[in-house]
Amino acid sequence: MKNPITSLGEYRKFLESIPLDKYREELKDIKWVEQDLPKGILPLASIFRYYWEETSFLNFDECFENFWKEINTNPESIEALTKFKKY
């Protein structure tokens, strides 16, 4: 098991590395309303696993790529995504 103090330091370093201004500018016109998404395609399980269980502090792009691969390879998520697209 990792040292909690070391993990906290890594987590803080990760948070500091997020280019918020860049993402704010790139994404300001995109509306992502997570509450409207079906449970099968919510990113929370993926986020929880990477940041809390594996303590793998991915950058946004890596996190999104992994999440996108996960929902496009899981039959339940594919079904939920297909239904949501039709909705």
61-78 pLDDT per residue, tens: 888 898 889 888 989 888
pLDDT digits (tens, 9 = 90+) for 27-63: 878 766 666 777 778 888 888 888 888 888 888 888 8
SS3 sequence of the chain: CCCHHHHHHHHHHHHHHCCHHHHHHHHCCCCCCHHHCCHHHCCHHHHHHHHHHCCCCCCHHHHHHHHHHHHCCCHHHHHHHHHHHHC
Q: Which pTM does this prediction carry?
A: 0.52
pLDDT at 20 over 70: yes
Contacting residues for 59 by C-beta, under 8 A, at least 6 apart: 14, 17, 18
